[in-house]
Amino acid sequence: AQSVTQPDIHITVSEGASLELRCNYSYGATPYLFWYVQSPGQGLQLLLKYFSGDTLVQGIKGFEAEFKRSQSSFNLRKPSVHWSDAAEYFCAVGARAGTALIFGKGTTLSVSS
Amino acid sequence: NAGVTQTPKFRILKIGQSMTLQCAQDMNHNYMYWYRQDPGMGLKLIYYSVGAGITDKGEVPNGYNVSRSTTEDFPLRLELAAPSQTSVYFCASSLDRQSYNEQFFGPGTRLTVL
């Protein structure tokens, strides 16, 4: 079955500290992988995506993610977190256009000062 | 470009009432989707469309209907609202088969059924 697991429901990080959000997926075909961010009361904004090629991808707002096929993982990282990064983060996997993205249940990030 | 727009932003319905959630995109995308988001559950696909006149069910279609008469618009209809349909609804779109299913989301409609 196709699924996405985000093991951490809630993470608190100090401002300026590094961040890693975990994502593991189960998908039969070659996956397209995405990270979205959702601020309170807002829609989903695409942070970054992986389709093929270089397994380390750069996104907006200083985020990056690494695709590891052997571990079926696509973890999101940021070297220095800002208070404005507090939000909910969703990992998603999909195939060709016209099919559903399969979303994880999300990780809520809190940033402490 | 306005991207993907949704109306209304908020709505409260009584059980048994009906309503239509509007969704429009101005990016000339062929594919459009409706998802619902429940707390702690991620997003689930309700319906999708691969072009005008073509729609298909997603994972959770019961209690909903859709139509796609134009490329731009993809309304979602609730005929007999039930408390289980209390949720946040997101519309999304993607360009075509070569776009790797990168989906662009609207701001959402928060629906409460009492």
Per-residue pLDDT tens over the stretch A11-54: 999 999 999 999 999 987 778 999 999 998 888 999 999 988 88
- Which pLDDT belongs to residue B11? 96
Pairing relationship of beta strands B43-51 and B54-57 according to DSSP bridges: antiparallel
Q: How many Cα neighbours within 13 Å face the side chain of A107?
A: 24
* B107 touching A (Cβ < 8 Å): yes
- Residue B100 sits at the vertex; the CA angle it makes with A104 and B60, to the nearest 5 degrees, is 45
Q: How confident is the model at residue A1 (pLDDT cuts 50, 70, 90)?
A: confident
Q: What is the DSSP letter of B73?
A: B
Beta carbons of B101 and A97 less than 8 Å apart:
yes
Q: How confident is the model at residue B49 (pLDDT cuts 50, 70, 90)?
A: very high
Residue A34 CA to residue A12 CA, distance in Å, equals: 22
* B7 touching A (Cβ < 8 Å): no
pLDDT, chain A, mean: 92
Of the candidates A9, A34, A5, A7, which has an alpha carbon nearest to the alpha carbon of residue A110? A9
Scan for tokens 């006149």, then name that residue. Answer: B53
- Which pLDDT belongs to residue B99? 67
Q: How confident is the model at residue B97 (pLDDT cuts 50, 70, 90)?
A: low
Work out the number of other CB atoms within 10 angstroms of the CB of residue A109: 21
Residue A39 CA to residue B34 CA, distance in Å, equals: 20
- Which pLDDT belongs to residue A4? 94
Residue A37 CA to residue A97 CA, distance in Å, equals: 21
- Which pLDDT belongs to residue B98? 66
Probe site for chain A from B6, B100, B109 (most A CB atoms < 10 A): B100
- Which pLDDT belongs to residue A30? 75
Mean pLDDT for B38-66 is: 92
Cα distances from A35 to residues A44, A96, B41, B56, in angstroms, run 10, 17, 16, 25
- Residue B54 sits at the vertex; the CA angle it makes with B53 and B56, to the nearest 5 degrees, is 145
Task: Tell whether the model's pLDDT for residue B9 goes beyond 80.
Answer: yes
- Which pLDDT belongs to residue A54? 87
- Which pLDDT belongs to residue A95? 77
pLDDT tens, residue by residue, A59-99? 999 999 999 999 999 999 999 999 999 999 999 998 776 77
Task: Tell whether the model's pLDDT for residue A2 goes beyond 90.
Answer: no
Chain A residues whose CB is inside 8 A of the B23 CB are none
- Which pLDDT belongs to residue B42? 84
Beta carbons of B42 and A103 less than 8 Å apart:
yes
Task: Tell whether the model's pLDDT for residue B39 goes beyond 80.
Answer: yes
Mean pLDDT for B8-37 is: 95
Query: For residue A6, with 0-12 CB atoms within 10 Å meaning exposed, 13-18 middle and 19 or more buried, which class applies?
Result: buried
Cβ atoms A35, A20 nearer than 8 A:
no
CB-nearest to B48 from A45, A100, A104 is A100
